[in-house]
Amino acid sequence: MGEIRYTPKIKEKRWSKDKELDIRKLWDEERIYEFHFDPKDARPIIVIDTPPPYPSGKWHVGGAAHYAQIDMVGRYFRMKGYNVFLPFYADRNGLPVEVQVEKVKKVNPHELAKTPEGREKFLNMCKEFLDEVEKELVNIWRRLGCSFYYIRNGTDSPEYRKITQATFIELWNRGLIYEAERPVNWCPRCMTTLSDAELERKEEDTLLYYIKFRVKETGDEIVIATTRPELLGACDAVIFNPKDERYYYLRGKHAIVPIYNKEVRIIEHPEAKPEFGTGLVMVCSYGDQRDIRLFKELGLKPIILINKDGSLNEKAGILKGL
């Protein structure tokens, strides 16, 4: 990725784009935008905590414009007489970079990571990719005339890692953070959690599976429609809507989960939609956000029967390995 060049369609009468490069060169040589802390400096210090951009690809015009606006604020405070710390550094951590390197280099990081040498090789690939993209980002804001104090390596530097690790240790020692198991967005291919921002949601047609349960107290059969039959072994409750008169006779009773012969409570809850399927819903860990809410609200104990690679474990019984 070389320096970005363009040919303006409108000819300037009093300005030449070549002058921009001369001015930028002068700024760099004189290092006029570097931040210096001097106890003898009477100017008040202001720190503008610029959000580090994520160098996973080319910068779009919106991102560039956003940082130009931040630079405008920094220049304003300089003119007001402040000693301004206006840093620019890239966020060099995260999954998107690894995914991009996989695509560009056509490698499988999980295969490489089976040996220390392979893991180090993949990390070096990521660093080389980041260096290339970051160089382009820096070139863009320089050509825009921005006055950031560039900090190379940013979140990849030993100093940064030392500070973040020390911060987490301090928070842990003070009891402000804790370790716990929580449902997350998990990718069985990347073998890691994903943020909501990294997800691409799609609506697709699927099938409703009708499964017969038995009522423990009466021996009657009830039918539940679900799109997630593989989670049958993780069912910990059955719900129906309090306004659904069809199931009033199930109040206070229990259902027996087929195949697993597990006894679960039948509960009235407004989350059940009478018009969907049969109106009865099995609550499993975890089919969707509703399940997460209900498990927490009803105090249910989750049953984890899906492995990290997406296969079913021994808790799935005869479905193990699927």
User: Which pLDDT score, from 0 to 100, does residue 8 have?
Assistant: 64
184 in any annotated domain:
no
259 in any annotated domain:
yes
User: Which pLDDT score, from 0 to 100, does residue 110 have?
Assistant: 85
Q: Kindly state whether residues 253 and 147 are assigned to the same domain.
A: no
171 in any annotated domain:
no
185 in any annotated domain:
no
CB neighbour class for 31 (10 Å; exposed up to 12, middle 13-18, buried from 19):
exposed
Q: Kindly state whether residues 21 and 158 are assigned to the same domain.
A: yes
65 in any annotated domain:
yes
Give φ, ψ of 228 to 5 degrees.
-125, 65
User: Which pLDDT score, from 0 to 100, does residue 42 have?
Assistant: 92
Domain of residue 145 covers 17-166
CA dist., res. 309 & res. 76, Å (int)? 52
The domain boundary, picked from 114, 135, 166, lies at 166
User: Which pLDDT score, from 0 to 100, does residue 153 have?
Assistant: 81
Helix runs in the chain, H state only: 17-30, 61-79, 95-105, 109-112, 116-143, 158-173, 289-298
Q: Kindly state whether residues 142 and 42 are assigned to the same domain.
A: yes
Q: Kindly state whether residues 83 and 217 are assigned to the same domain.
A: no
The pTM (predicted TM-score) of the whole model is: 0.68
How would you classify the pairing of strands 221-226 and 209-215?
Answer: antiparallel
pLDDT < 70 stretches in the chain: 1-13, 15
Q: Kindly state whether residues 157 and 222 are assigned to the same domain.
A: no
User: Which pLDDT score, from 0 to 100, does residue 6 have?
Assistant: 59
Domain count for the chain? 2
Q: Kindly state whether residues 30 and 124 are assigned to the same domain.
A: yes
Q: What is the pLDDT of residues 216-243, one digit of tens each?
A: 999 999 999 999 999 999 999 999 999 9
CATH code, domain carrying 230: 3.90.740.10
Provide the residue count of the chain.
322
User: Which pLDDT score, from 0 to 100, does residue 171 have?
Assistant: 97
Instruction: Identify the CA nearest to 59 among candidates 120, 145, 140.
Output: 140
User: Which pLDDT score, from 0 to 100, does residue 104 have?
Assistant: 87
